Structure 1
Amino acid sequence: MAEHDPSYKLLFSHRDLVADLIRGFVHEDWVEQLDFTTLQRVSEIGVSHDLREREDDMIWRLRWGERWVYVYLLLEFQSSVDRLMAVRLLTYVGLLYQDLAAAGEIPSGSPLPPVLPIVLYNGEKSWWAKTSLDDLIEPDLPEQLRRWQPQIRYLLLDEQRLADTELAGQRNVAAALFRLENSRRPEDIERVLASLIDWLAAPEQDSLRRAFVVWLKRVLLPARVPGAELPNVNNLQEMRAMLAERVKTWTEEWKQQGLEQGIQQGIQQGIQQGIQQGIKEGIKEGLSRGEARLLRRQLLRRFGALPTWAEARLEQAGEAELEVWADRVLEGATLEEVLEQPI
């Protein structure tokens, strides 16, 4: 997927998708008390002028009883894992509090509102960075010093490691998005689209339906079928019909692409293995030839010019023979005694 593709962020600018993300993937009791009818982008409440919103984050809020809860959603599309993600979020949440206070969203004397940081990651490699800042700080600290250290945790959603059975069992728009991202066959995409068409049938969801179409055309299908000509489709029904029509052709293209990739990888691995083996054999051969030259010089000094049979023996000798002859060169009385076949 293209890094920070605008069409992906466009999807998470829709309330229904963000609401399903929270409902389906924040497995905590307090979520049941959230009022999702109050869910709104922070940019919609007049804070965006001051808020330092980056291209890879989205900030939402909704009511939890009489209080606001802020959801800081960071979309992480980098190919490498950021080891210091907890540090980044500590900075981002601190800036959020500053800007909310400056915009008058935190009345004087009121406590700070809670913030739920979520990192949504879709990289090929598994996420391995610590999700708690406390785990990044020097562990061997006196308890009195440790209590002064900052603390923050974030909820990690590693999309490609989410179990397909868990995703498929949910009537959830966010889960459908993750299933699409993890799909590898046209029929899998078509099956998810059928669910989305059913779930997003309401007129007020037209904008989200269009956002899915844009993302499918700009990101998912070009990644799955590189170079394929995509027809101009404008809604999810047309997208599903197009997939049904082309499923056989594209399946063959995907198989061929996979075969070609497999052959290319096999060739590259074979070349690398051949080079490595050649280097090993070359080093071994070089060492053997070096030992043979050294032994020849020693034999010349002891016995003078070497006869043809002795030169041939040295040329054809293996590592084991050379080692035995090197031990004998100082003890053997004659050249024949030194160059006997090793016992």
Structure 2
Amino acid sequence: MNDENDDESGDESDDGKDGHHKDGHQKGSQRLIRRHDQFAKQLLDQPGIADAFLRERLPAAVAACLSDAPAVDRSESFVDAALRERRGDRLYALSTWNGDPLQVMVLCEHKSNPDQGTFPQVLGYLGGTAVRGAVRRVLADGTVLMVPVPVYAVVLYHGTRTWSLPTRLRDAYGMPAGLVEAGLLDFGYVLVDLAAIADEDLSRHPDLQAGLLVLKYAGRDADPQETLERLLSAAAGAGLTVIVSVVRYLFGAAEALDRKRLKAMLGRIVPREGEKVVSIALREYLDEARAEALVQGRAEARADMLLRQLGRRFGPLPEAAVRRVREASPEDLDRWVDDIFDAPSLEAMLGDLN
């Protein structure tokens, strides 16, 4: 849930008001993770992640009524076309055990301060979604009516301050309760404030827990290396699987990742598993790219991802290196993935490029 002008400059205005080191905080966090809302969207787009998130974070009474059918992304059908390009929010379709449809809006918010415009934005989303998803119902006496589809709103907040705003409209009115009971418009949203949730309680799903850890900490330190250490230390308490997942997410999210420091930190956190963690995480990251390439018909995607990592490791690549990678066999790509962090030079890794 980001404002219209909430581009890659992120929440600079908030940081200035809060007394944070605006330039250091902003540049550091943006170097580590490109755009928080976009990362949240990409996290939820991973297979099975949105379904796990919704079942864990919707009220227990709602989750208990859900069928086993997984959540389906309906964002393209229901989100206003004018908003699609600038919002990381998502709409998911679920079904209840008796077959009734259910919609859930997940709104992503990364500002330092809780968003004062949350209620108008949530109301606009809920109203539009409920009406566009209206279903036909027949009452016992044969009367036919159109009923707006049931829809819940979930606000995923990963800002630096605890969310202090009310989550029900009746609490925000500041009016006598009797007016609400008499039929005044009322609604609420489910708040998931990552800062208020212990790291180990973020999720029971390892990949979701890892992604939420990244969202929770990636914008909290001015120094991206401090953030990296904080992330890995938090992941260490969750086990090796989550550490691997965090490192894998960082490969995709970090714009400037000090790999030597990464390996040194892993050596302290998991002394006998550091090399294994990096190798598995990078392989999984590239395998995800390969899977995406199969879906999108882009066979070159895996090589593109390796070239991206090589550029970060060795700087601008000569044309001969780019050509060598693009023409490489799957076996060579696998071997280079394993060698990327230890090779002293690009030539030592790819061979003579003359």
- TMscore range, shorter length: 0.5 to 0.7
The 5 Å alignment of 1:303-322 reads none
Give the aligned partner of residue 161 of structure 1: 196
Find the counterpart in structure 2 of residue 120 from structure 1. 156
Instruction: Quote the Cα distance in structure 2 between the aligned partners of 1:5 and 1:193.
Output: 26
Matches of 1:186 and 1:196, distance apart in 2: 9
SS of equivalent residue, structure 1 residue 30: helix
Correspondence for 2:224:
none
User: What is the deviation of 1:66?
Assistant: 1.3
* 2:193 partner amino acid: D
Deviation by residue 1:305-335 (Cα, 9 ceiling, x = unmatched): xxxxxxxxxxxxxxxxxxxxxxxxxxxxxxx
Partner residue, 1:236: 281
How big is the alpha-carbon RMSD for the aligned residues of Structure 1 and Structure 2? Answer: 4.1
The alpha-carbon distance between structure 1 residues 122 and 7, as it changes in their structure 2 partners (threshold 3 A), is closer
Code of the aligned partner of 1:116: Y
Do 2:91 and 2:106's aligned partners in 1 also have CA atoms closer than 8 Å?
A: yes
Letter in 2 for 1:61: A
Distance 2:158 2:89 in 1: 14
How has the CA–CA distance of structure 1 residues 12 and 193 changed in structure 2, closer, same or farther, with 3 Å as cutoff? farther
Residue identity opposite 2:232 in structure 1: P
The yes-or-no answer on 1:8 pairing with 2:40 is: yes
Distance 1:47 1:106 in 2: 18
CA deviation after TM superposition for structure 1 residue 23, in Å: 2.3
8 Å contact 2:236–2:243 — kept in the other structure?
A: no
- 2:131 corresponds to which of 77, 92, 98: 98
**SS at the partner of 1:186?**
helix
Contact 1:4 1:55 in 2 (8 A): no
What secondary structure does 2:192 align onto? Answer: strand
What residue number does 2:274 align with? none
Letter of the 1:179 partner, please give it. L
161, 170, 173: which one pairs with 1:137? 173
From the two aligned structures, give the one with the greater helix fraction.
Answer: 1
Gaps of 5+ in 2: 1-28, 138-143, 218-228, 264-277, 286-336, 343-354
Cα distance, 1:177–1:106 mapped onto 2, change above 3 Å: farther
Cα offsets for 1:253-277 (capped at 9, x unmatched):
xxxxxxxxxxxxxxxxxxxxxxxxx
User: Which secondary structure state, in structure 1, belongs to the residue aligned with residue 145 of structure 2?
Assistant: coil
Identity, % of aligned positions? 19
Q: 1:218 to 1:5 in 2, by over 3 A?
A: farther
Alignment equivalent of 2:110, drawn from 77, 86, 105? 77
CA distance in 2, matches of 1:15, 1:109: 36
Q: Does structure 1 retain, via aligned residues, the 8 Å contact 2:213–2:231? A: no
Give the equivalent residue in structure 2 for 1:195.
241
Q: Which among 61, 68, 80 is matched to residue 93 of structure 2?
A: 61
CA displacement at 1:174 relative to structure 2: 2.5
Q: Deviations over 1:184-226 (max 9, x none)?
A: 053544676832599xxxxxxxxxx8xx77742354585x869
Note the C-alpha offset of 1:87.
2.6
Shift of 1:33: 2.9
Give the length in aligned residue pairs.
223
Q: Distance in 2 between matches of 1:176 and 1:15?
A: 14
Cα distance in 2 for residues equivalent to 1:174 and 1:120: 13
- For residues 237 and 191 of structure 1, what CA distance do their matches in structure 2 show? 21
Deviations 1:22-71, CA, capped at 9 Å, x for gaps: 22223413313312424211146x55676854513100011112111111
SS of the aligned residue for 1:72 comes to strand
Matched residue type, 1:10? Q
The question of whether the paired residues in 2 share the 8 Å contact of 1:133 and 1:152 is answered with yes
Answer whether contact 2:88 2:107 (CA < 8 A) is retained. Answer: yes
Give the 3 Å change call, closer, same or farther, for CA 165–234 of structure 1 in structure 2. closer
- 2:230 corresponds in structure 1 to 184
The residue identity in structure 1 corresponding to 2:209 is: A
Tell me, which stretches of 5 or more residues in structure 1 are unaligned? 199-208, 247-343
TM-score norm. by structure 1 comes to 0.52
Q: Does the C-alpha gap of structure 1 residues 154 and 139 become closer, same or farther in structure 2, counting only changes over 3 Å?
A: same
Letter in 1 for 2:130: Y
Asked if 2 retains the 8 angstrom alpha-carbon contact of 1:84 and 1:129, the reply is no
Which residue is 1:217 aligned to? Answer: 251
The answer to whether the 8 Å contact 1:119/1:154 transfers is yes
Taking a change above 3 Å as real, the CA distance of residues 23 and 17 of structure 1, as seen in their structure-2 partners, is same
Q: TM-score, normalising length from structure 2?
A: 0.51
**3-state SS in 2 of match to 1:35:** coil
